C-alpha cells in the first residue's frame, strides 16, 4: 500500500471516529449540522442540474433548506425516532408485523404532516408569504407525498427496523441528498 493511500485512509478513519464521537456526545447538534449540510448540498446540486431562471444559484434557497434541516428537520426526526422506540420498541426477534407497524407509523402518521411543514417553512424562508406557502402545499403536497411513499418506503423500512437509532438520521440524510435534489427539481418545474 502506498504512503498516500495509507494517509488518506488514516484521515478518513480519523474524521469518521471524530464524527462518531460527536454523535455519541452531542447527538442532536451533530445530526442538525449533518442534515443542514446535506440539505444545502442537495439544493445546490439541484440548482446546478435544473438551473433556476437566470441560471444563477439562488443562495437564499440553499440557506433555506439548510436552516429548515438544522432547526426543524433534524431535531424533529431525532425526537420522532426516540418516540418510535418508546411506542413500538424493537425486540430481539421482531416479527414482520412489528416491523410493518413501525413502518406504517412513519409513513402515515409522521410523513404527511412533515411534508406539509417542509413545504410551508421552506417557502417562507425563501422569502414568499404565507399565501404562497399554502398554495404550494395545495399544489404540490399530494404529488410529493406519493413520490415520497414510492421512493422512501423501502429505505424507511430498513431505517426503522435495521439501523441503530443513533445512525437513523445519518442514513436518512444519505438517502435525503437524492430526495432533496428530486424535490427541488420538482418545485422548480411546478414554479414555471
Which secondary-structure segment (H or E) carries 97? helix 96-104
Whether 161 contacts 27, CB under 8 Å: no
Query: Side-chain half-sphere of 25: how many Cα atoms within 13 Å?
Result: 6
The parts of the chain modelled with pLDDT lower than 50 are: none
What would the grid cell of residue 162 be?
435495521
Give the torsion sign (CA, 122, 125, 130, 132).
negative
State residue 3's pLDDT score.
61
80 to each of 22, 74, 102, 110, 120, how far by Cα in Å?
A: 20, 10, 12, 8, 20
pTM: 0.88
Of 167, 132, 172, 170, nearest in space to 152 by CA: 172
Determine the Cα–Cα distance for residues 182 and 146; give it in Å rounded to an integer. Answer: 13
pLDDT at 136: 96
Q: Are 119 and 111 in contact (CB under 8 A)?
A: no
Q: How far is CA 61 from CA 53, 131, 139, 187, in A?
A: 13, 18, 19, 11
Under 8 Å between Cβ of 98 and 151: no
Amino acid at each position: 500500500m502506498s504512503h498516500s493511500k495509507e494517509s488518506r485512509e488514516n484521515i478518513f478513519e480519523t474524521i469518521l471516529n471524530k464524527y462518531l464521537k460527536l454523535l455519541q456526545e452531542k447527538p442532536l447538534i451533530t445530526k442538525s449540522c449533518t442534515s443542514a449540510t446535506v440539505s444545502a448540498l442537495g439544493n445546490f446540486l439541484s440548482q446546478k442540474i435544473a438551473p433556476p431562471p437566470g441560471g444563477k444559484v439562488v443562495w437564499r434557497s440553499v440557506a433555506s433548506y439548510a436552516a429548515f434541516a438544522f432547526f426543524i428537520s433534524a431535531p424533529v426526526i431525532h425526537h420522532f425516532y426516540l418516540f418510535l422506540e418508546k411506542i413500538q420498541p424493537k425486540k430481539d426477534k421482531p416479527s414482520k408485523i412489528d416491523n410493518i407497524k413501525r413502518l406504517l407509523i412513519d409513513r402515515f402518521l409522521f410523513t404527511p404532516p412533515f411534508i406539509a411543514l417542509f413545504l410551508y417553512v421552506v417557502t417562507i424562508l425563501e422569502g414568499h408569504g404565507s399565501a404562497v406557502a399554502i398554495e404550494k402545499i395545495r399544489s404540490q403536497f399530494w404529488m410529493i407525498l406519493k413520490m415520497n411513499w414510492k421512493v422512501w418506503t423501502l429505505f424507511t423500512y430498513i431505517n426503522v427496523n435495521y439501523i441503530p437509532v443513533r445512525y437513523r438520521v445519518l442514513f436518512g440524510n444519505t438517502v435525503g441528498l437524492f430526495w432533496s435534489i428530486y424535490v427541488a427539481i420538482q418545485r422548480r418545474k411546478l414554479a414555471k
